Amino acid sequence: MIYLGSKARIVGEILPIMLQSIHPGQAFVDAFCGGCNVVQHVPQEYKRIANDNNRYLIAMWKTITTTNWNPSTAISKAYYNNVRESWHKNDGKYSDAEIGWVGFMGSRNGRFFDGGFSGSTGGRDYINESVRNINKQIGQLQGVEWQTGSYDQIVIPPGSLIYCDPPYKGTTSYSTARNFDYDHFYDWARQLKRDGHIVYVSEYNMPGDFSCVWEKSIANSVNPTKTYTAVEKLWMV
Ligand SMILES: C[S@@+](CC[C@H](N)C(=O)[O-])C[C@H]1O[C@@H](n2cnc3c(N)ncnc32)[C@H](O)[C@@H]1O
């Protein structure tokens, strides 16, 4: 799914490294699953758990992967505005799954209403691109156990691998991630390790007791004429 902070471009490199640490039957827990661009590639022989604290996102994923739900693929600006207003007011007019669907399929860069209505411009139909993208994931996400809440509330089976892709420190891009407490997150990861789990983290920088096991410079385009390079890293506790 087109998603802010998607790991679609690096999953082919980081996932084989992580999967060396567990065997089929053990659980792969994607603690900040977002667009599910990582967990979708974990083979189904592993128990797969996906969590995110955006309840509309998880309602959308759960409904679209476990029922015959056929959400509208024609998202007009008026429909988008109605759903956004209802989400703001929390008036219960639309289901959480529908709010997630309209918010993620209809917003620029998969930014859940923060991005504003995408629609179609310059010969591109952005909503259609988003819908085609998510439709390709549905088959690969069969059997995933969905959880929603903060990462530190996830129910984790013994001896799991936990992949953490939190909002990058210094960014405030997710409506659900204002005031993210990084020290609490580091302590939670350390405790998981003491409890016998394996913990990987995608971040630019981490405290000294985490070791970087992979890194690569990736060019990101801000717009057609402006790109910046960031060093993506995978860490292990
Ligand atoms: C970088 S994105 C994950 C992208 C995902 N790995 C992908 O490739 O599509 C980070 C996610 O963390 C979620 N998030 C933020 N704070 C959280 C928290 N306290 N607990 C769980 N999820 C959280 C956001 O809603 C967002 O979906």
Please give the Cα distance from 178 to 147 (Å, whole number): 20
User: How many Å lie between the centroid of ligand 1 and the Cα of residue 176?
Assistant: 9
Q: Which residues contact 141 (CB under 8 A, 6 or more apart)?
A: 36, 39, 40, 50, 61, 65
Q: Which atom of ligand 1 is nearest to the CA of 52?
A: 22
User: How many Å lie between the centroid of ligand 1 and the Cα of residue 154?
Assistant: 13
What is the band of 45 on the pLDDT scale with cuts at 50, 70, 90? very high
Is pLDDT above 60 for 222? no
Query: Position of tokens 């204002």?
Result: 178
Is pLDDT above 60 for 172? no
What is the band of 169 on the pLDDT scale with cuts at 50, 70, 90? confident
> What pLDDT is recorded for position 37?
98
| Residue of 9, 52, 61, 184 to mutate, ligand 1, most atoms within 8 A of C-beta | 52
